[in-house]
Structure 1
């Protein structure tokens, strides 16, 4: 399920997936880098390095699995905090049904 978010200042549109992140599941922290989400890229990378030090690299896949359950929600919340708003009523309803707080216009 995808939602459309719009930045009213720059008129930039983003279509963002809601729910489980298959890209994070398969590729770990790389989707955050390709989205330009530097904050969560850095956090995931630091956690991967930390986990790798204690598990000789064997536990790094677990970080991607754990983050895949909630990364999309974190990304959407960051977009909403930076000024993005749902572009249509359907997108707003989907966000509200998934427990994501949307500021009223």
Structure 2
């Protein structure tokens, strides 16, 4: 399953997978680094430096968590789901058309 997120300002779209992250299992801390997800990257980096149980958490537990954390991080930083974005855009279009109709009616 995936979630499509849309940036409110630039209308850029990103597809975020949900559930287990195979890429994180295979590539570890490089996934948040390449995504630009800095808090998670530095957290995993610190866990890896501690060694022992930290490496286990970074490599085998984090793949279960990273996609949901990344989605929540994006939602807090100016992104919205595509469904909500389309609903908002449709409401704005309907409001604009209504205002135009009322203005045309008032002019006539």
TM-score of the superposed pair, with normalisation by structure 1: 0.73
Partner secondary structure for residue 10 of structure 1 = coil
Q: Which runs of 4+ in 1 moved over 6 A?
A: none
Tell me how far 1:59 sits from its aligned partner.
6.2
In structure 2, runs of 5+ residues without a counterpart are 85-108
Partner secondary structure for residue 19 of structure 1 = coil
- Looking at secondary structure, tell me which structure has more helix per residue: 2
- Give CA-to-partner distance per residue, 1:9-49, whole Å, 9 cap, x none: 12111111011111111111110001111111111111111
In structure 1, runs of 5+ residues without a counterpart are 90-105
May I ask how many residue pairs the two structures share in their alignment?
84
Tell me how far 1:88 sits from its aligned partner.
2.3
Partner secondary structure for residue 14 of structure 1 = strand
Contact 2:47/2:58 (8 A) holds in 1: yes
Query: Cα RMSD over matched residues?
Result: 1.7
| 1:81 has 2:76 as partner | yes
TM-score of the superposed pair, with normalisation by structure 2: 0.71
